[in-house]
Structures are given as C-alpha cells and as structure tokens.
Structure 1
C-alpha cells in the first residue's frame, strides 16, 4: 500500500498593498526605493509642487515646524519609510541629534534625498544637505507640502493612509432602482 503524505497547500503570498504612489508594496519585506537609475533612467526629474520659500501657504505647518520641527520631521519620515519607523521614534531621534549636536540637518537631509528618489523630484535649489543646513524649517515645510500634494495625510501616519486608500478601493454595490424586498 502506497501511503503518501497529502499534498500541502501552497504557501500564501505575502500581503500586497498599493501605496499612494500607485506602486504595489509587499508589506512583509521592506519596500524598495525606486529611482530613475533603477528604472533605466527613463524618468526625468520633475519639479517640486511648491517652492522652498512658500512656507506661508500653510501657516499651520509653518508654525508647527518653527516651534516643534521634530513633529514635522517625524511625520515626514514615517511616510517616506512607509511605516517601518514611527513618527515618534524618528521625531525623538531628530530631537536628540538636535540637542546633542545642534545639527539635525545632517539627519534630515537624508530623508529629503529619499523623498526625491521616491517621487523623482529635482534637486533644487541646491543639494539636499545645503537646503537643510541653510534653511531647515523651509525644507521640512516644503517636504510636508509635497507629500500632502501627493494625496497623503501626514497627521494619520503611513498605516492610516494605507487604510484610507483601502477603504476608497472598496466600492459598495450600486442598486439601480433602490432596495427591493
């Protein structure tokens, strides 16, 4: 008698989520950072949706960034890292670097580079480190506005934005003539 083990079910694929950028992301693995070089140089850099000195277009973000840049930076970094680091952890690290060295711009300029890589943005008006070293507040405000203009709500974090996108994707069935019994 040939007794063989029953065939096992194929492993379930990891959950895939479509981000606000339209790029599917495997939630169990860290998301790749896409750049024009990785895509074969087919994408040319696009301009920022707002200028560096357009801080007063949104006074609430400007005030938040002036008085507590760690919150603005934490929100930006959570979105850029696609939820792998929380707003609180990034903001605390930013504050600690600011208190110890007084040069938090050395940390935040790397996130500007990541943001530019994800959205194929121009490196303007100068290099990322120069922008953050010369005008940290304006740079953080510009990055915050850029993510808002991409349709993200930074106040609810990465996971909140994913949930919001998922709810938008679920469309209730339509009834033609109303409900009937």
Structure 2
C-alpha cells in the first residue's frame, strides 16, 4: 500500500489513515480517538448553518431525516436511517426528541474526540436542536462521509477506494 507521510501519521493517497482505523482524514480535527492531549474542536461552528443550506432547510422542516442520517453513521450501520428517524419523529411528538439526539451528539464526540462545546450536549440540543443536528451532519460530511448513502454504502466505497474528499476549508478573498 502506497502511503505518504503527513506529520507523525501515514495516510493513503485517498486521505485515509494507513491503519486499521479507516476514518477519513480532516486536517482540522484528529481522526483518532484519544490520540490528542485534549479534545479537538468541531470542523464548523454551531451556527454555521449557511455552510450547507440544503441540509439546513431539510433539518428545519423534517429534522427526523437529518437525525436518521447522523444516527446511522454514528451507529456504524447497526440501526438504519429510517428506524432512527422514525424513533426521533415519535419522540418529537412528545417533545423528548432532544434527549434522544443529545445521546448521539455525545457518541459522535466520543468517536472523534470532539470538545463538548459550546456547552453540555443536552443543553445544546434542548436550546437549539436544528443547529446542533446541522453541525453534527456537517462534521460527518467534512470527515468524508456521503450522508445521503448511509453507512454500508460509505464502507463499500471506502473498500473500493472511492472516497468523498473531506472539506478542507473555504477560500476567502
């Protein structure tokens, strides 16, 4: 396997670490859980919904879709997008969906060693559910996941060497 060195870690030409942990590399966040001395920052801010306006609109009108996509990736395909979205939708009828979704924010943070910011996970989801879902969606997308195809298709693409390039940043004048 051809690898190029970047710092202390080795990555394949597709941007994946040359280790057993096949997580897309993002230059602003560590793909390795527990390797940094402290938690890494999110790739985008909580209120940067304009970075992905299509997802922002979908999340505002039907947050169960965005939540289902996030949950399927965080659960590594063990629970489908449709099943997670349906549970979220049912809980939304009772007003308890934010409790369910904050659990997934905590899991996502744990998987990628992200800081608990701007405040506690449940508080973020309780005060700004749509913004938190959009941020989590962007985080996974920026880490190279194609959110529209689910976990299994992402792993299939990765196995074939087809990847979605992680978002590095925006050009500014």
TM range (shorter): 0.7 to 0.9
CA contact (8 A) 1:20 1:165 kept: no
Q: Which residue of 1 aligns with 2:135?
A: 142
- RMSD across aligned C-alpha pairs, in angstroms? 1.8
Q: Which residue of 1 aligns with 2:168?
A: none
Q: Deviations over 1:110-163 (max 9, x none)?
A: 000000000000100000000000000000000000000000011000001001
Question: Does structure 1 residue 70 correspond to structure 2 residue 73?
Answer: no
TM-score by length of 2: 0.74
TM-score by length of 1: 0.71
- Bigger radius of gyration among the two: 1
Shift in Å, 1:20: 2.6
Whole-angstrom CA distance in 1 between matches of 2:23 and 2:145: 7
Aligned length, in residue pairs: 137
Q: Which residue of 1 aligns with 2:107?
A: 114
Q: Which residue of 1 aligns with 2:96?
A: 103
Which runs of at least 4 in structure 1 moved beyond 2 Å after TM superposition? 17-22
Q: Deviations over 1:78-113 (max 9, x none)?
A: 0000000000000000001111x1120000000000
Q: Show structure 1 runs of 5+ residues with no match.
A: 1-16, 23-33, 170-181
SS in 2 for 1:154: coil
SS in 1 for 2:149: helix
Whole-angstrom CA distance in 2 between matches of 1:131 and 1:21: 26
Question: Does structure 1 residue 90 correspond to structure 2 residue 90?
Answer: no
Whole-angstrom CA distance in 2 between matches of 1:57 and 1:167: 29
Whole-angstrom CA distance in 2 between matches of 1:128 and 1:35: 18
Change (3 A) 1:89 1:43: farther
Q: Which residue of 2 aligns with 1:163?
A: 156
CA contact (8 A) 1:105 1:129 kept: yes
